[in-house]
Amino acid sequence: MTFRRDKAVAAVVQAEVAADVDSCLELSREKALEAASSGAELIVFPETWIPGYPAWLDSCRDAALWDHGPVKAIFARIVENSIAIPGPALDKLAQTARDAAATLVVGISERVERGAGRGTLYNSLVTIGPDGRLLNHHRKLMPTYTERLIWGAGDVEGLRAVDTPAGRVSALVCWEHWMPLARQALHESGEDLHVAVWPTVHDLHQVASRQYAFEGRCFVLASGAMMRASALPPELDPHPDRVTGGDEWVLRGGSAIIGPDGKYVVDPVYDEPRLLLAELDLRRLSEERMTLDVTGHYHRPEMFEFKALRTGRRPAGEGE
């Protein structure tokens, strides 16, 4: 179903990550209902919001040592707190979406519950409609650098925009925003609102988010998390050149909302929890597409050929 409207209210949740999956689900519900009470129809949470981004990969010593007991224990804890699709944790997110009467886009660490790949996690995004239905399930195509210690490579099955009451919604994870063909696949799927999730949206991530908005002529909801050094795993020692105290932010937020001209609708917010809320004028999409449409009048299909090679992957465990 295609929804036609001129306005949409969107929210980005910027908050400190919780300690475990159950706490994350409770916090997600609290924040979603808060956003919905302010009129939000689309509510966005950061990269691997559940159960939290592994910032220790960049902040702690010995993260990549072979057969290192503390790191193996941390990985096992991440597995225990990751979400299976389908599964009871996803059901709780679906109930939150229904109760909020809003579309949710949530970054998760995904666990494979049954069948092949039970030893692999994925850096994933789920888009859940206001009726609680899973609209899209995207696995990050290529984990970035040290992330490959945690997550496996994803696929293109979730690389698409989906219809929601707020507009057509697409999403990418972090450094996928520097993958030109991934961007083009989403542009060709026809997006109005793009969700850009990051662990924290520092300066270069702001550049990528604004470039995406300008190139795709869409609104971008850039979402970053917050984490203090005191939340780093107790099994590892923070690197003294990167962490000086427990109250220091290792993830600083930086969430923002960007218009289809690449300019900020809501400026970036750092170093504090915040619910970013904006009423978006969807008529601006057509205004900005007058000068650039990378899938239409500014595309030369007789010179360039592009195709996403889909495999037909269904959510892990489905139909077994």
Q: Which residues are catalytic?
A: 47, 140, 174
Q: Encode 73-99: b = buried (16+ Cβ within 10 Å), e = exposed.
A: ebeeebbebbbbbbbebbebbbebbee
- If we measure between CA atoms, which residue out of 38, 43, 52, 49 comes closest to residue 10? 43
Number of H helices, E strands in the chain: 7, 14
Cis peptide before 233 (omega within 30 of 0): no
- If we measure between CA atoms, which residue out of 6, 75, 105 comes closest to residue 233? 75
- Do β-strands 162-164 and 167-173 pair in parallel, antiparallel, or remain unpaired? antiparallel
Q: Encode 238-254: b = buried (16+ Cβ within 10 Å), e = exposed.
A: beeeebeeeeebbbbbb
Q: Encode 292-311: b = buried (16+ Cβ within 10 Å), e = exposed.
A: eeebeeeeeeeeeeeebeee
Token pair of 260, please? Answer: 């289809």
